[in-house]
Amino acid sequence: MARILCVAEKPSIAKAVANHLGGQARADNVRGIQWVKNYKFDYNFQSWGQSSVTFTSVAGHIQNMEFHTRYQKWTGCQPSELFDAPTEVFVAKDKKPIADNIASLAAHATILFIWTDCDREGEHIGSQVREIALKANPNMQVWRARFSNIERAHIIQAAGNPIRLDDAQVSAVSARIELDLRLGAAFTRMQTLALQNMMPQRDDVKKVISYGSCQFPTLGFVVDRYLRVRNFVPEPFWYIKVVHEKDGINVKFTWRRGHLFDRMAVIIIFERCVSAKVAKVTKTSKKPTKKWKPLPLTTVELQKMGSKFLRLTSQDVMKTAEALYTKGWISYPRTETDQFDRGMDLRKLIERQQQDGRWGPFAQSLMNGGFNQPRNGRNNDKAHPPIHPVNYVAPTQLNDNERRVYEFVVRRFLACCSEDAVGEATDVEIEYGGENFHAHGLTVIARNYLDVYPYDKWESSQNLPQYTVGEQLEPKESSMEEGKTSAPSYLTEPELIALMDANGIGTDATMADHIGKIKDREYVMARVKGAAGGNGGDSAGGNGRGRGRGRGRAGRGGREGAAAGHGEGGAGGAANGGVQEFIPTTLGIALIEGYDNVGFETSLSKPFLRKEMEVQMKAICEGRSSRNDVVQQNLDQYRAVFIRTTQQINVLKAAITKYVVQPNQN
């Protein structure tokens, strides 16, 4: 009988797959680690026949890359030496029991069957497993399973069709690891050593001034928005408003041109309207409209929605989702997939929610014929399904944060399985003095998914009276109004996550950590949006010294939006306090401005370099580049930035002086 060692990326996958293949497989404990189990059972593989199987797992990466000891001490070498200092890869201290477990199991097996997630990092983790197993037993055959979810039929299919590890993907990840280590360490030490002594010290703690290929672009987004707010100059504009009364209803017509920045032009146009006296209806339409139900839930969307509606930071959202997952209430919370597999039994999941007091009745209505297959988004990571509730849990069993996140996940899921909201849109267009104006009305006919999903708002506007084309009307009121453009607001957490996502900064699992890191490093401050007031709420830096600079926000006209006219079908997002917004500290601004002033064409604060690295990783995966070429080329490019920065370190110091040391003298 063949002896097969299967290894998954995480315990939950080992358990699920083992149970599909082996029935209620026996679970043995592993020395020195509680959450990893070895499942033992027999299984008849298509390729290897009746076999004795041990199914275990790792917990993410097992090994770490570090510099040789001499280079780990900050005083042991120049930071610039880290570009080519020798490195080694070794088992992380806390992963020792996991590695030992694999080694001892491998010694007694003939075949290694790797079941890590089918993504780039999963491929790399698989290669680490392979390395450890082969060291213990060089004669092993090594195979890999291709699977994208843990549905029974899919898993059995994967068990019968093993493939090979993709070494190109392994190389791509290993290039990333080396670059992140070398660049992170080199720039962090250089910056810290050069600038730390200029920083005002509190409580004798010397803070690291770190650089990382993700944290810097993240900071860059915050600073960029901050500067746009600060440099904002409101601009006045003018527009024409027309009101007509019919059937006792005041109908507000908005100008098709929105607004103009030329006052004289508006005066002339307005006079033409006034002298025309009478307006004419040119177009009416009444047509069905819909508000689409949301897409299946991805990690990025969960974090955006969580920081927007649940009053949690993205880090807390992730921590909470993680806890709900390990307790078995929701599915795996790190996924890019926004489409449910056709074969998945969604009704079974809905059924379990029927007992709830809040959304139970809605779940029942879905079970009684209201069910609709969820929409399909465009993403499928082929590793995990969208986030969904797995089992029902009563609110009393959860803490505050868990309750909120669980509720959101359930409501989102039920909404996905429901129906689009249906409404009727009425549009009326008039011509007045040669200008076009229009009015828009919405009547919600069937709320459908909105009943279970309060995070979306779509409400009927005032009914419009009946108009017919050609009808003449005399406005009750027409006036020329003035407004001014209002400043953008500081970057909110959901906006930042969206920017990171769009620019490929971090992964769904790490974006919240990068945000946490730039807070931790005191590059940015977070505060609740709208809670501006208070003493120095606007102040930057941990040292209590504000920027002393203008508060760019001009009074919010609010009119800009009103004049903008044709919005999409319905009302906008729900108003809700509690969103976090980020303001850079003096240190954060100084770092970004300092690097910008060093004037290299590719500033470290821009997302460009990270994006470029992503493109090169793809090239390695597709065999168009080699790992070595990519690493060397990137090191050369960053080394040039490094040299230039150290030569012009006074530019960086000047920025620190300007913003941190003497913030009020500029």
Q: Which stretch binds DNA (CB under 7 A): 8-16, 419-427, 485-493, 538-546?
A: 8-16
Contact between 59 and DNA by CB under 7 A: the answer reads yes
Q: Looking at beta carbons only, is 59 or 260 nearer to DNA? A: 59
- 485 Rama class: left (phi>0) / alpha (psi -120 to 50) / beta: beta
Residue 91 bridge partners (DSSP): 63
Decide if 392 is catalytic: no
| Chain centre to alpha carbon of residue 409 | 16
Kindly indicate which of the ranges 289-297, 505-513, 557-565, 566-574 contains the residues binding DNA, using the contact rule CB under 7 A. Answer: 505-513
Closer to DNA by CB, 232 or 325: give it. 325
Give the DSSP letter of residue 295.
Answer: P
Angle at 559 between CA 555 and CA 560, to 5 degrees: 95
Using H for helix, E for strand and C for coil, what is the string for 79-112?
HHHHHCCCEEEEECHHHHHHHHHHHHHHCCCCEE
- State which residue, 308 or 610, has the beta carbon closest to DNA: 610
Q: Which of 3, 22, 42, 66 binds DNA (CB under 7 A)?
A: 66
Binding segment for DNA (CB under 7 A), chosen from 89-97, 144-152, 262-270, 618-626, is 89-97
Q: Does 509 bind DNA (CB under 7 A)?
A: yes
Q: Tell me the closest approach of the beta carbon of residue 184 to DNA, in angstroms.
A: 2
Using CB under 7 A, which of 20, 95, 559, 627 touches DNA? Answer: 95
**C-alpha to C-alpha distance for 651 and 641, rounded to whole angstroms:** 13
**Of the ranges 72-80, 276-284, 623-631, 637-645, which one interacts with DNA (CB under 7 A)?**
72-80
Interface with DNA (CB under 7 A), residue from 337, 365, 507, 616: 507
Nearer Cβ to DNA, position 10 or 403? 10
Min dist CB 200 to DNA, Å, is: 15
Whole-angstrom CA distances from 619 to 352, 383, 579 are 45, 21, 39
Using CB atoms within 10 Å of the CB of residue 164, give its burial: 0 to 12 exposed, 13 to 18 middle, 19+ buried: exposed
Q: 239, 332, 453, 595: which is the annotated catalytic residue?
A: 332
| CB-nearer residue toward DNA: 92 or 281 | 92
72 binds DNA (CB under 7 A): yes
- Residue 194 or 366 having the CB closest to DNA: 194
Q: Which span sits near DNA by CB under 7 A: 58-66, 133-141, 385-393, 413-421?
A: 58-66
The 318-357 contact track toward DNA, x by CB under 7 A, reads ----x--xx-------x-----------------------
Quick one: tokens of 565? 């006219």
Q: Which is nearer to DNA, 178 or 593 (CB)?
A: 178
Looking at the Cβ atoms of 195 and 464, the one nearer to DNA is 195
Q: Does position 382 bind DNA by CB under 7 A?
A: no
Of residues 98 through 117, those in contact with DNA by CB under 7 A are: 98, 117
Instruction: Please give the Cα distance from 472 to 469 (Å, whole number).
Output: 9
Q: How far is the CB of 611 from DNA (least distance, A)?
A: 12
Nearest to 581 by CA among 474, 467, 489: 489
Count CB-CB contacts under 10 A for residue 653. 16
Spell out the residues 6+ positions from residue 196 whose beta carbon is closer than 8 angstroms to its own: 206, 207, 209
Displacement of CA 585 from its chain's centroid (Å) = 23
Q: How far is the CB of 177 from DNA (least distance, A)?
A: 6
Does position 423 interact with DNA (CB under 7 A)? The reply is no
Tokens 């709830």 identify what position? 356
Of 381 and 495, CB closest to DNA: 381
Q: Return the closest-CA partner of residue 566 out of 253, 238, 234, 280.
A: 253
Alpha carbon 290 to chain centroid, angstroms:
27
Q: What are the φ and ψ backbone dihedral angles of 22, each rounded to 5 degrees?
A: -115, 15
Work out which of 101, 148, 174, 210 binds DNA, going by CB under 7 A: 210
Among 506, 570, 594, 663, binds DNA (CB under 7 A): 506
Q: Using CB under 7 A, which residues numbered 485 to 504 contact DNA?
A: none
Interactions with DNA, residue window 164-183 (CB under 7 A): 176-177, 180-181
Among 17, 30, 106, 121, binds DNA (CB under 7 A): 121
- Minimum Å gap between C-beta 454 and DNA is 29
| Type and span of the H or E element at 4 | strand 2-8
What's the closest the beta carbon of residue 14 comes to DNA, in angstroms? 9
Q: Which residues make Cβ contacts (< 8 Å) with residue 571, sequence separation at least 6?
A: 457, 458, 459, 461
Contact between 188 and DNA by CB under 7 A: the answer reads yes
CB nearer to DNA: give 53 or 323: 323
Number of residues in contact with DNA, rule: CB under 7 A?
A: 53
Q: Does 35 participate in binding DNA (rule CB under 7 A)?
A: yes
**Contact predicate 297/413, CB 8 Å:** yes
Q: Which residues pair with 290 in a beta bridge?
A: 422
Which of 189-197, 303-311, 472-480, 616-624 is the region at the interface with DNA (rule: CB under 7 A)? 189-197
Q: Which of 2, 3, 12, 651 binds DNA (CB under 7 A)?
A: 12
64, 157, 461, 648: which one contacts DNA (CB under 7 A)?
64
| CA–CA dist 294, 377 (Å, integer) | 10
Candidates 213-221, 424-432, 459-467, 474-482: pick the segment binding DNA (CB under 7 A).
213-221
Site for DNA in 531-570 (CB under 7 A): none
Helical residues (DSSP H) of 469-603, grouped into ranges: 493-503, 511-520, 559-564, 586-598
Of 4, 10, 168, 317, the residue at the interface with DNA (CB under 7 A) is: 10
β-pairing, 49-57 vs 2-8, is parallel
- Based on the shown chain and the rule CB under 7 A, indicate whether residue 381 belongs to the binding site for DNA: no
- Rg over CA atoms, the chain: 30
What CA–CA distance (Å, rounded) separates 499 from 517? 17
What's the DSSP call for residue 624? Answer: S
**Which one, of 528, 500, 502, lies nearest residue 512 by Cα?**
500
CB of 485 closer than 8 Å to CB of 237: yes
What are the start-end ranges of the H helices in 525-626? 559-564, 586-598, 608-621
Angle at which helices 649-656 and 586-598 pack, to 10 degrees?
150
Q: Are 14 and 56 in contact (CB under 8 A)?
A: yes
The full length of the chain comes to 666
Q: Which residues of 256-278 are buried (b: 16+ CB within 10 A; e: fewer)?
A: ebebbeeeeebeebbeebeebee
**Residue 261 in the binding site for DNA (CB under 7 A):** no
Q: Are strands 33-45 and 49-57 parallel, antiparallel or unpaired?
A: antiparallel
Closer to DNA by Cβ: residue 215 or 616: 215
Residue of 184, 296, 377, 541 interacting with DNA (CB under 7 A): 184
CA distances, 389 to each of 113, 347, 638 (Å): 30, 12, 45
The 3-state DSSP class for residue 281 equals strand
Select the residue interacting with DNA from 1, 107, 163, 208 (CB under 7 A). 208
- Applying CB under 7 A, which part among 10-18, 142-150, 284-292, 474-482 lies near DNA? 10-18
CB 510, min distance to DNA, A: 3
> Which residues of this protein are in contact with DNA, per CB under 7 A?
9-12, 35, 59-61, 64-67, 72, 74-75, 92, 94-95, 98, 117, 119, 121, 125, 176-177, 180-181, 184-185, 188-189, 192-193, 196, 206, 208, 210-216, 322, 325-326, 334, 506-507, 509-510, 514, 517
Active site residues: 332
